[in-house]
Structure 1
Amino acid sequence: MTIDDSLDNVASHRIADSLRTAILDGQLAPGTRIRQGDLADQFGASRIPVREALRMLHSDGLVTLVANSGAWVAKLSMAECIEAYQVRERVEPLLLRTSMPHLDGEAIDRLQAMVEAMEADDSVDFFMRTDRDFHLATYAGAPPSMLSDLIRRLWNTTQHYRRAYAMLVRAPSIGVTHMEHHLLVDCIRRQDADDAERVLVMHIQRTRLELQKHPDLFR
């Protein structure tokens, strides 16, 4: 690899990391056009690392690339979002079951601390970051696999709609979400995979059913 190639690689990761954060934090809404020239100017880079960054984000499920047209922040129809949640209901319990035997006491204590932090802070932004960290940490005991890659991509693709859900339920039923988090930690601590799967399916399904009531979120 030449020095120029190495610099382009560093630049592409820097651009991808910045865009990933902006998308996951809700700064760039689904359907937003991403212009390569604007990114190149913003980061003082050539088009080569910009194109590579967009390919990385496309692979992550965060960006849609259209040949000879451009790039957009990934957007889902309601049917696509519901399908993504139905897939999550089936595959995430499997990954959780694989992960649980490899989560030690220290890891479980960290999960408990995240649940308590979410209860103590009523900010949507904090909840979104910590809820994502919490669930991905419950899967961290599983070895890297196609399944773990698929689940991370599904989390990325549905992030905007999870944020909309979080804003919808903050007042009336956020307590139920916290309770389900506590139940998950308890199941993991007890190493009861059957109970953990049941709680997780219910947890994901509840979000899906709530989103189905709000088709306006997908316009």
Structure 2
Amino acid sequence: MNDATDGFPLDSAPRVPFLPVTVTPRASTSRVIADALRTAIVEGTLAPGAPLRQDAIARHFSVSAIPVREALRQLESEGWAKVAVHKGATVAPLSAEEAREIYEIRSALESLAIGLAIPRHTAATLREAETLCRAAEAELDPALYVARNEAFHMSLYAPAARSQLEEMITTLHRRGERYLRLKFGLPVYKDESDREHTAILDAVRRGDIEAARSLVAAHLLGTGELLYRFLTERAQAEAAQANGRKPRAKRARPAPTES
């Protein structure tokens, strides 16, 4: 690894170029940099805690420090990076608490959105949602699944025509992208998620607002709890391994005595 990058893998892996060098005129320089870094984080090329050195990034893109700082601020606002005074930026760690909270907020916003959207769905919008639902179900590539999953969810809410609500939901989808990919390590839960998508779509077709809202909320809260448990147990296992011991099994609580 090039010492100048201080751990940032920009110059050390020419065989697998994962960051675009060319900046297209249609997007701002800072946005191109942010998109490239986000992709590297999502795909695991930049691991949690890895340093994001402004000078190394600027050299890679042949730009000044200004668009790099803007890109890092954008990533920080989206939850992808942590910026500390006098310490610089690093890739944000995966957090069990953050994962659960993202899905708790999504459950509230998306159950609202689907209720507003159902009366405005048409045969055409329902066909589009059906197509996107089946595409997500069949997708085996984690990177493509994340995009297809988001497209399906947003197709359910689009007829509501609530731009600010849609923007907030889209931001949360982006913040939860790294966590959603963990489901591919738990295939049985992806299958369950696909079945829940079908049930939600069926409720939308029937025009059953109460059922659709309940199903969306349960679907998202369940995903949040799953990810919370997975990340918590993984952190405990890693801590135990670092200490050279096996993680202790949880002790069963004693049954309450009758008074």
Q: CA deviation at 1:26?
A: 4.3
Query: Counterpart of 1:91 in structure 2: which amino acid?
Result: L
Alignment check: 8 A CA contact 2:183 2:189 kept: no
**Paired AA for residue 49 in structure 2:** G
The aligned runs of 1:1-219 (5 Å cut-off) are 10-141=28-159, 142-145=161-164, 147-168=165-186, 170=187, 172-214=188-230, 215-217=232-234
Structure-1 separation of matches of 2:126 and 2:85: 45
Gaps of 5+ in 2: 1-24, 239-259
5+ long unaligned stretches in structure 1? 1-6
**Bigger relative contact order (CA 8 A; separation at least 6):** 1
The structural deviation recorded for 1:101 is 3.6
Displacement of 1:93: 0.7
- TM-score normalised by L of structure 1: 0.81
Q: Percent identity?
A: 32
Give 1:176 shift.
Answer: 2.0
Q: 1:111: Cα distance to partner? A: 1.8
Alignment check: 8 A CA contact 1:62 1:156 kept: no
Shift of 1:196: 0.9
Q: State the alpha-carbon separation in 1 of the partners of residues 90 and 58 from structure 2.
A: 16
Tell me by how many angstroms 1:120 deviates: 2.7
Listed one character per residue, the Cα deviations across residues 163-215 of structure 1 (whole Å, up to 9, x for unaligned) are 112321x1x24332111111222222233221111111121122123223321
Query: Of the two, which has the highest radius of gyration?
Result: 2
8 Å CA contact 1:29–1:160 kept in 2: the answer is: no
- Cα deviation per residue 1:129-148 (whole Å; 9 max; x = unaligned)? 21122223323333221x43
1:90-147 superposed Cα distances (whole Å, 9 cap, x missing partner): 22211222233444333322221122123333333332221122223323333221x4
The whole-number CA distance in structure 1 between the counterparts of 2:115 and 2:49 is 35
Number of aligned residue pairs: 209
Following the alignment from structure 2 to structure 1, what is the Cα–Cα distance between the partners of residues 213 and 47? 32
Letter in 2 for 1:138: L
CA distance in 2, matches of 1:109, 1:138: 11
Amino acid at match of 1:196: A
Q: Give, as a single letter, the amino acid of the residue that structure 2 aligns with 1:198.
A: S
CA shift in 2, pair 1:132/1:27, >3 Å:
farther
